[in-house]
A = this chain, B = another copy of it.
């Protein structure tokens, strides 16, 4: 699914993908646009403000709970297959946002999925997970206020998966996931167990739950929402809500960061690696300096602009200035890359420093999970 196009006629600094790219999601899948809700969110996150969170299912339910100070939960997690990169960083920030706004917080280490999907042993997962959790803490996740667990150790999730699987027909599985290995279907049921875990009596019972994810994860949400209805009588489940963020482009300009293409950097990479990767990134620059001075650049298709927009420029004013400078040809790509490299290296350095201090806490969290 390609949700990112290369339209050059946009004049929206936040519009690296235009709204039309998502129209078919709204129409075909019943995902609702986030825009109309934005004014109702009292302190929207950066992703909400910038339209990076572009769609949702049933988010009003969560918003109501937030605004009337009723209980609600946020759940997301990580498949411990590698180091934190700019994609994982997005979900991380979203969880932390909801935590800070009062959500009961669940963070899942999806080691069973890493096993089912990527054949990674549970032992190997543990090491990676410790590292990932330390990243989360360094980013601001509150260890004391977060229920962190590993799928392989959380029997309630496995039990839910087994119980929820009962009525599911093969036709449904094929419709949602295609003709796949049984392991993949198991993995899907386990994810449904994750998403509904916050609503078990052990955690205070049914409540609105938001799952912030990339748009590519929507099938899991649709599937789990259906299951929540099938088991409503038994558990009283509230259908889980979701928000969808755009996927961050690869540094080569391709629509998604991918391991295979090595078109991204991680928060663990060395200064040199990051410098090289950003220096060699694709941009929205023109064929010559003269042309760029005359016509301006095309930030809408530029992954270097996008990493600023998504991650490295906090202030909306500042990002707007960058956008304008690019559009009007005041700043050239080389110059901008240098600024971005500085900014990224500063962030990474500070992140690593914080993280080092939190490794022991992460180990403790994972050992008891």
- Taking a contact as CB atoms under 8 Å apart, the answer to whether B182 and A162 are in contact is no
- Taking a contact as CB atoms under 8 Å apart, the answer to whether B155 and A168 are in contact is no
- Taking a contact as CB atoms under 8 Å apart, the answer to whether B181 and A169 are in contact is yes
Interface flag for A290 (CB, 8 Å):
no
Q: Interface 1/0s, chain A 178-202, versus B by CB < 8 A? A: 0111110110011000000000000
- Taking a contact as CB atoms under 8 Å apart, the answer to whether B165 and A170 are in contact is no
- Given contacts A158-B155, A158-B158, A166 and B181 within 8 Å (CB-CB): yes
Give the CA-CA distance A107 to B263 in the complex, in Å. Answer: 54
- Taking a contact as CB atoms under 8 Å apart, the answer to whether B158 and A115 are in contact is no
- Given contacts A115-B163, A158-B159, A180 and B170 within 8 Å (CB-CB): yes
Interface centre among A112, A161, A169, A186 (most CB of B within 10 A): A186
Give the CA-CA distance A169 to B210 in the complex, in Å. Answer: 33
Q: Which residue of B lies closest to A152 (CB)?
A: B159
B119, B155, B190: which contacts A155 (Cβ < 8 A)? B155
Q: Please, which residues of chain B bring their CB within 8 A of the CB of A167?
A: 181, 183
- Taking a contact as CB atoms under 8 Å apart, the answer to whether B190 and A182 are in contact is no
B159, B182, B190: which contacts A169 (Cβ < 8 A)? B182
Minimal beta-carbon separation of A354 from chain B (angstroms): 35
- Taking a contact as CB atoms under 8 Å apart, the answer to whether A170 and B162 are in contact is no
- Taking a contact as CB atoms under 8 Å apart, the answer to whether A181 and B158 are in contact is no
Give the CA-CA distance A159 to B152 in the complex, in Å. Answer: 8
Give the CA-CA distance A115 to B160 in the complex, in Å. Answer: 13
Interface flag for A116 (CB, 8 Å):
yes
B158, B183, B190: which contacts A168 (Cβ < 8 A)? B183
Interface flag for A331 (CB, 8 Å):
no
Interface centre among A162, A173, A189, A190 (most CB of B within 10 A): A162
Q: Please, which residues of chain B bring their CB within 8 A of the CB of A173?
A: 182
Interface centre among A115, A167, A179, A182 (most CB of B within 10 A): A182
- Taking a contact as CB atoms under 8 Å apart, the answer to whether A165 and B152 are in contact is no
Q: Please, which residues of chain B bring their CB within 8 A of the CB of A180?
A: 170
- Taking a contact as CB atoms under 8 Å apart, the answer to whether B166 and A183 are in contact is yes
- Taking a contact as CB atoms under 8 Å apart, the answer to whether A170 and B182 are in contact is yes
Q: Which residue of B lies closest to A185 (CB)?
A: B182
Give the CA-CA distance A166 to B113 in the complex, in Å. Answer: 10
Interface centre among A116, A170, A185 (most CB of B within 10 A): A170
Q: Please, which residues of chain B bring their CB within 8 A of the CB of A158?
A: 155, 158-159, 162
- Taking a contact as CB atoms under 8 Å apart, the answer to whether B183 and A165 are in contact is yes
Minimal beta-carbon separation of A81 from chain B (angstroms): 15
Minimal beta-carbon separation of A171 from chain B (angstroms): 9
Interface centre among A161, A163, A180 (most CB of B within 10 A): A163
Q: Please, which residues of chain B bring their CB within 8 A of the CB of A162?
A: 112, 116, 158, 161, 186, 190
Give the CA-CA distance A190 to B159 in the complex, in Å. Answer: 12
Q: Which residue of B lies closest to A168 (CB)?
A: B182
Q: Which residue of B lies closest to A155 (CB)?
A: B155
B119, B165, B170: which contacts A186 (Cβ < 8 A)? B165
Q: Which residue of B lies closest to A173 (CB)?
A: B182
* Known contacts A162-B186, A165-B186, then 6 further A-B pairs from the complex at CB < 8 Å, ordered by chain A residue: A116-B162, A161-B162, A165-B183, A168-B181, A170-B170, A170-B179
Could you list some 20 contacts between A and B, CB below 8 A? A115-B163, A115-B166, A116-B162, A116-B165, A116-B166, A119-B166, A155-B158, A165-B183, A167-B181, A168-B181, A168-B182, A168-B183, A170-B170, A170-B179, A170-B180, A170-B181, A170-B182, A173-B182, A182-B189, A186-B189
